[in-house]
Amino acid sequence: MHKRYVDNNLRAATEICEAKGCNFTQKRQRVLKTLLEAERPLSAYEITDNYNAVTEPTISAVSVYRILEFLESIKLAYRLRSASKYIACKNITKYQGSDMSFFLICRNCQCVNEIEVSSKIVTSLAELINKSGFFSSSSQVEINSLCADCKATHYDPLKE
Ligand SMILES: [Zn+2]
């Protein structure tokens, strides 16, 4: 099941790159594959390690950073600013490349869920931002939250 998820998303990413006229090199594909295979956000160094554990020739962290920049630029991956880690777009097969992405980040276990937000909400958010004299550019919203599992174990960060 997970392998099919990775394969389908990689195929979709290939089509997106073709449509955009970007060169989806083997290294770029493998970095995205590493991110898709991970079940949690990874730092650039973790990506490099995971990549090098299964792939010859190996890759340097510098190259990984460059590739991540590319993947971010076309919204196939995101850098979570609060965690300084990277995550693949959750559903590349339904790729929209929208201007706003929303992530729920569990403050206890750091698991991440990318949520789909209706265009209506995105539009009214953009209006609110403009009203306050700011202009929303491409952005992502990270919501500090508690996942269902951690909630179920009654984890309370205030009691730590
Ligand atoms: Zn959690």
Could you tell me the distance, in angstroms and rounded to a whole number, from the CA of residue 75 to the centre of ligand 1? 25
Could you tell me the distance, in angstroms and rounded to a whole number, from the CA of residue 153 to the centre of ligand 1? 9
DSSP strand pairing (100-106 vs 85-88) = unpaired
Q: Which pLDDT does position 155 carry in this prediction?
A: 66
Cα gap 93→152, rounded to integer Å? 32
Could you tell me the distance, in angstroms and rounded to a whole number, from the CA of residue 134 to the centre of ligand 1? 33
Q: What is the mean pLDDT of the chain?
A: 90
* Residue closest to 39 by CA, chosen among 5, 82, 75: 5
Domain ranges of the chain: 1-92, 98-160
Structure tokens at 12: 């979709």
The yes or no reply on domain 98-160 and CATH 1.20.120.430 is no
Percent of the chain residues topping a pLDDT of 90: 61
Q: How confident is the model at residue 157 (pLDDT cuts 50, 70, 90)?
A: low
Asked if the bond preceding 57 is cis, omega within 30° of 0, the reply is: yes
Could you tell me the distance, in angstroms and rounded to a whole number, from the CA of residue 44 to the centre of ligand 1? 22
pLDDT tens by residue, 70-101: 999 999 999 998 888 999 998 888 887 777 88
Could you tell me the distance, in angstroms and rounded to a whole number, from the CA of residue 151 to the centre of ligand 1? 7
Could you tell me the distance, in angstroms and rounded to a whole number, from the CA of residue 82 to the centre of ligand 1? 15
Cα separation values, 53 from 41, 59, 73, 158, Å: 18, 10, 26, 39
Cα gap 54→34, rounded to integer Å? 10
What are the residues whose beta carbon lies below 5 Å from ligand 1 (ion)? 106, 108-109, 147, 150
Return the H-helix or E-strand segment holding 87.
strand 85-88
Could you tell me the distance, in angstroms and rounded to a whole number, from the CA of residue 97 to the centre of ligand 1? 27
- Asked whether the beta carbons of 58 and 112 are under 8 A apart, the reply is no
The whole-number average pLDDT for the span 54-71 is 96
The yes or no reply on domain 1-92 and CATH 2.70.170.10 is no
- Asked whether the beta carbons of 136 and 100 are under 8 A apart, the reply is yes
Could you tell me the distance, in angstroms and rounded to a whole number, from the CA of residue 127 to the centre of ligand 1? 32
Could you tell me the distance, in angstroms and rounded to a whole number, from the CA of residue 112 to the centre of ligand 1? 9
